[in-house]
Structure 1
């Protein structure tokens, strides 16, 4: 079933007063989530930091140091996009995540935050995929460095195959040296995915099989 096909299951119909009562309970619960998120954010701002090697990534114009990705600023967000050295295409979920970036990334730059993407594949493969997707973001390759291995973005599975992980790394440039101040992966990446949050607030949610939804709600495998 396509998400463009309207499901037959719907919420129960109630009068305006009952709806407002139920909505008020929901808003109260969401306000507590917001307050808790503020507390979590406060603790995040109190994390220590660790110095990171000033890796020399490959870019179309030549080698680019991690410290150079900051541009003229001191804050940097790096999206670790899953694209293995022997892959022909980028990861579908990572591609979806990049497509979810703000339409006007200048707004991020206005806040003093530089942005770049890094992948394990050779830079030529990245440039080909970028052209196909129409992306303008800066994208560098860690292929000839140990960056992906050092920070766990690429790991070895029990069978010896390489397993890549998506996520975001937040850096601070201090005294000319790059420091990692925060990193997140798995569902922690959802914080910057606007489409996911929009879907969450529709009556059917994301329509994925891990969600706790009423009987009859449309659901499909997350990565189907």
Structure 2
């Protein structure tokens, strides 16, 4: 069975420099339009309203941690909602990969007055065990025993009563002691801050996932295999 480490037989066609430069120039124009559209979307995001959020009492490694305390003296907060159900023994593999995509120097967020924390529904003991196994030093709190995950849709119940979780990010603003939610995203919206995914996108074979529109013969593997 082949893996991503096995070099594929298929490859892009070989052309001369002039043809390559012309094709690349066309691609750059497409990407410039994506950038311009992204700027328009970001401008709209900065004009979103905000909603007050309860100052939830999470559980951290040393006891109770309020949502307002996650700001740690700053006024902006990014919370990564890591999928880890109360009855799970391990964290979600894709969420774990997303945490590993965070900046090597989280002080870069500090420089921008942005605090960072992770939250999951599993009890704190499970989170601490998984954090140690992964070698993370990020602040990770548990929402177990609170309504946070259900209130904001990170845990949802289907028609048959089964619960499922969503990964994602919540962006908060602290104003006059009250935390406000200014933006949240899940599913593929999380890709905006996953640099490894963007690196893969720009290689000859892309992410090599089965949903991608790729030329015939390009390697493709199950997305969640």
Partner SS for 1:118 = strand
Partner SS for 2:192 = helix
Whether 2:213 is the aligned partner of 1:212: answer yes
Instruction: Give the structure 2 partner of residue 4 of structure 1.
Output: 5
TM-score between both structures, scaled by the size of structure 1: 0.99
Q: How large is the Cα RMSD of the aligned pairs?
A: 0.5
Instruction: Give the structure 1 partner of residue 144 of structure 2.
Output: 143
Instruction: Give the structure 2 partner of residue 172 of structure 1.
Output: 173
Instruction: Give the structure 1 partner of residue 19 of structure 2.
Output: 18
Instruction: Give the structure 2 partner of residue 198 of structure 1.
Output: 199
Q: Once the two structures are superposed, what CA deviation does each residue of 1:152-194 show, in whole Å capped at 9, x if it has no partner?
A: 0001122212100000000000000000000000000000000
Q: Once the two structures are superposed, what CA deviation does each residue of 1:1-48 show, in whole Å capped at 9, x if it has no partner?
A: 111110000011110000000000000000010000000000000000
- For 1:213 and 1:60, locate their aligned partners in 2 and report how far apart those are by CA, in whole Å: 46
Partner SS for 1:183 = strand
- For 1:122 and 1:144, locate their aligned partners in 2 and report how far apart those are by CA, in whole Å: 9
Partner SS for 2:172 = strand
- For 1:144 and 1:69, locate their aligned partners in 2 and report how far apart those are by CA, in whole Å: 18
Partner SS for 1:78 = strand
Partner SS for 2:65 = strand
Partner SS for 1:32 = helix
Q: How many residues align?
A: 224
Instruction: Give the structure 1 partner of residue 36 of structure 2.
Output: 35
Instruction: Give the structure 1 partner of residue 61 of structure 2.
Output: 60
Instruction: Give the structure 1 partner of residue 160 of structure 2.
Output: 159
Q: Once the two structures are superposed, what CA deviation does each residue of 1:67-116 show, in whole Å capped at 9, x if it has no partner?
A: 00001110000000000000000000000000110111010111100000
- For 1:108 and 1:159, locate their aligned partners in 2 and report how far apart those are by CA, in whole Å: 41
Please identify runs of 4+ aligned residues in structure 1 that moved more than 6 A: none
- For 1:158 and 1:133, locate their aligned partners in 2 and report how far apart those are by CA, in whole Å: 35
